[in-house]
C-alpha cells in the first residue's frame, strides 16, 4: 500500500499545478513583480569542472563545458535568452563572454533548465592559463544572465566559483 503522506503530497502538487495554470496571467503578474520574480530564479554552476584545452597539437585553445543550471521557482513561464559574463583568473578578468543563445531555452513554472558556455581563447588568454602550474585551477564567473519574462527582458546576477581542468 502506498504511503498516505506521499499520496497527499503528490495530489497536492498536482492540484497546485492545475490551479496555477488556470490563473490569469494578469493576476500572476500582479502577485509576482520583477524583483520577486528575479529572486525566484536560482543560478548555480555545475559540480563538474569545465575544461581548458591548451595543447600545442590543437588548432585552437578552447574553454569548454562551463555549465550552469537555472531553477525557476515562480509560477510564470520564462526563457533563457543570453549571458554577459566575465571569467576571472587570479582576481583579474580573463575572458569576457557576451552572447545571445541561438535558441531560447524555455523554463516552465517550477522547473530547471540550463546553458553551457564554450569559448575559443585568444593567444593572450591562452598564455595566462599556460602559466598555471597545476592541472586544476579555480576560476570565478560573474555577470548577468538575460531572462525573458512576461514583463520583458531582465538580467539576473550570477556569481560562481568553478574548477577548471587544464588539458595540455
Total length of the chain: 168
Interval 43-101: pLDDT, tens: 999 989 999 999 878 888 999 999 999 999 998 889 999 999 999 998 899 999 999 99
pLDDT at 114: 94
CB contact set of 99 (below 8 Å; sequence gap of 6+): 82, 83, 117
Select from 48, 53, 50 the least CA-distant residue to 121: 53
Spelled out in words, what is the top-level CATH class assigned to the domain 33-167?
mainly beta
Domain ranges of the chain: 1-31, 33-167
Predicted pLDDT of residue 2: 58
Contacts 24+ apart (CB under 8 A), 126-133: 126/54, 126/61, 128/89, 128/94, 129/52, 129/54, 129/61, 129/89, 129/94, 129/164, 129/166, 130/54, 132/166
Amino acid at each position: 500500500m502506498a504511503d498516505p503522506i506521499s499520496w497527499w503530497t503528490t495530489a497536492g502538487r498536482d492540484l497546485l499545478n492545475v490551479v496555477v495554470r488556470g490563473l490569469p496571467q494578469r493576476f500572476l503578474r500582479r502577485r509576482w513583480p520583477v524583483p520577486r520574480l528575479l529572486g525566484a530564479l536560482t543560478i548555480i554552476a555545475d559540480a563538474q569542472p569545465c575544461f581548458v584545452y591548451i595543447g600545442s597539437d590543437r588548432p585552437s585553445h578552447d574553454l569548454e563545458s562551463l555549465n550552469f543550471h537555472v531553477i525557476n521557482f515562480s509560477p510564470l513561464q520564462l526563457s533563457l535568452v543570453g549571458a554577459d559574463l566575465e571569467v576571472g583568473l587570479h582576481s583579474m578578468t580573463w575572458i569576457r563572454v557576451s552572447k545571445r543563445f541561438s535558441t531560447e531555452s524555455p523554463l516552465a513554472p517550477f522547473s530547471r533548465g540550463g546553458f553551457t558556455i564554450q569559448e575559443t581563447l585568444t593567444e593572450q588568454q591562452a598564455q595566462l592559463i599556460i602559466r598555471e602550474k597545476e592541472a586544476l585551477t579555480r576560476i570565478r564567473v560573474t555577470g548577468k544572465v538575460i531572462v525573458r519574462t512576461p514583463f520583458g527582458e531582465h538580467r539576473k546576477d550570477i556569481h560562481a566559483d568553478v574548477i577548471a581542468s587544464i588539458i595540455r
